[in-house]
Chain A
Amino acid sequence: DVKVTQSSRYLVKRTGEKVFLECVQDMDHENMFWYRQDPGLGLRLIYFSYDVKMKEKGDIPEGYSVSREKKERFSLILESASTNQTSMYLCASSPRHGQPQHFGDGTRLSIL
Chain B
Amino acid sequence: DAKTTQPNSMESNEEEPVHLPCNHSTISGTDYIHWYRQLPSQGPEYVIHGLTSNVNNRMASLAIAEDRKSSTLILHRATLRDAAVYYCPHYGGSQGNLIFGKGTKLSVKP
> Which of A's residues lie within 8 Å of B, judged by CB?
4, 33, 35, 40, 42-43, 45, 48, 56-59, 90, 92, 97-98, 100-106
A42-B100, A42-B101 as given contacts; A105 in contact with B42, CB under 8 Å: yes
Asked if B46 and A33 sit within 8 Å, CB to CB, the answer is no
- Map CB proximity to A onto B32-53 as digits: 1 under 8 Å, 0 otherwise: 1010100001111110010000
Asked if A48 and B97 sit within 8 Å, CB to CB, the answer is yes
Task: Check: B17 CB closer than 8 A to any chain A CB.
Answer: no
- Shortest beta-carbon distance, A56 to chain B, in Å? 6
- Shortest beta-carbon distance, B97 to chain A, in Å? 6
Asked if B98 and A101 sit within 8 Å, CB to CB, the answer is yes
Bound complex: CA A104 to CA B34 (Å): 18
Asked if B95 and A56 sit within 8 Å, CB to CB, the answer is yes
Bound complex: CA A100 to CA B100 (Å): 13
Q: Which interface residue of B32, B43, B49, B97 has the most chain A CB atoms within 10 A?
A: B43
- Shortest beta-carbon distance, B30 to chain A, in Å? 9
Residues of A within 8 A of B45 (CB): 103
- Shortest beta-carbon distance, B32 to chain A, in Å? 6
Bound complex: CA A90 to CA B98 (Å): 14
- A4's nearest neighbour on chain B, judged by CB, is B43
A45-B93, A100-B34 as given contacts; A106 in contact with B42, CB under 8 Å: yes
Task: Check: B102 CB closer than 8 A to any chain A CB.
Answer: yes
